[in-house]
Amino acid sequence: MRRHSVIIHTFAAVAAVALAAGCNPAAAGPKESGAPSSASSAPAGPSGSAAPDDKPNGGSPSGGASTPASQVLLKDGTENEQVRELQARLKQLGLFKRSPTAFYGSITATAVKAFQEKHGLPATGSVDDATWQKLLASSRKPTENELRPPTTNELDTPDPRCMTGRVMCISKESRTLAWMVDGKVVSAMDVRFGSENTPTREGLFSVEWKARKWTSTIYHTPMPYAMFFSRGQAVHFSQDFANRGYAGASHGCVNVRDKAKLSVLFDQVKVGDKVVVYW
């Protein structure tokens, strides 16, 4: 009996953690008219935002002694403010063709490799101290507008699953949502995602239900134009995203900062339309 009790308690703890990882756990709050609990757009505080690992300081990223040239500082999968500065500097040199996102993906790696080839450095696609120092010498300190431009991010290459039907095609690398119909982009907008502790799920989903006006039952914050697609995670407008940009994060939802664009999209999207979230 004691062994069975331990197993039951362990399973309950794991289940609780799994539910808490969503934008809004399905178990949180009562359901109304059969609708699941809402997701969250609560401003990300110290525990909700993914804190940068490094702060750009104009010299060695560690701020201390020079790092050996062979040690990798930034690579595919890294996400912090130093990556944002890297992207902004590469954009000054015409090697990075979109707005900085602070996420180091394949597009950033390609730009870094091109920079390394141009300057006679080992073309690894990752940033070591030699690459970083050469980049600092070849570019100037980015302005705030260069780091966080007010314009819409450039779209990523659509995932193949986005090329048929009606679909919200959401790229984590470019941080964009493209509303596509039969392979053609109808509209596009900037988005942000959950933090490391509350990640936005990736995969193929469909719009389960919609709410023009909704308040999170777990965080008690407004979620206008919410379109739910995965166990409480939703695409919705976020005032915090509009105010702070990528300085914050959601609790798993896909936040949109352009309310006017999302309002139009909300009227076009139907329950059952596809949602694709991918890197």
The answer for residues whose C-beta is within 8 angstroms of residue 209's C-beta and 6 or more apart is 35, 36, 228, 271
225: tokens are: 């134009």
Question: Residue 103's pLDDT is what?
Answer: 85
pLDDT tens-place string over residues 23-47:
543 322 222 222 333 333 333 332 3
Question: Residue 150's pLDDT is what?
Answer: 65
Looking at per-residue confidence, does 4 or 17 come out higher? 4
Residue 193: name the closest of 213, 219, 174, 209 by CA: 174
CATH superfamily, domain 152-278, is L,D-transpeptidase catalytic domain-like (2.40.440.10)
The domain at 72-147 falls in which architecture? Orthogonal Bundle (1.10)
Query: How far, in Å, CA of 189 to CA of 101, rounded?
Result: 14
pLDDT tens-place string over residues 66-115:
445 579 999 998 989 999 999 999 999 999 987 787 889 888 999 999 99
Query: How far, in Å, CA of 131 to CA of 123, rounded?
Result: 10
Could you state, in order of their start, the residue ranges of all structural domains in the chain?
A: 72-147, 152-278
CB 96 within 8 A of CB 108: yes
pTM listed for this prediction: 0.54
The answer for residues whose C-beta is within 8 angstroms of residue 153's C-beta and 6 or more apart is 98, 99, 101, 174, 175, 176, 190
Categorize the per-residue pLDDT at 145 as very low, low, confident or very high, splitting at 50, 70 and 90.
confident
Cα distances from 5 to residues 13, 18, 47, 87, in angstroms, run 12, 20, 32, 52
Question: In this model, does residue 62 exceed pLDDT 50?
Answer: no
Question: Residue 189's pLDDT is what?
Answer: 94
Give SS3 for 52. coil
Looking at per-residue confidence, does 53 or 1 come out higher? 1
The answer for residues whose C-beta is within 8 angstroms of residue 12's C-beta and 6 or more apart is none
Categorize the per-residue pLDDT at 147 as very low, low, confident or very high, splitting at 50, 70 and 90.
confident
Low-confidence winner among 10-24, 110-124, 179-193 (lowest mean pLDDT): 10-24
Question: In this model, does residue 5 exceed pLDDT 60?
Answer: no
Question: In this model, does residue 19 exceed pLDDT 70?
Answer: no
- The DSSP call for residue 148 is S
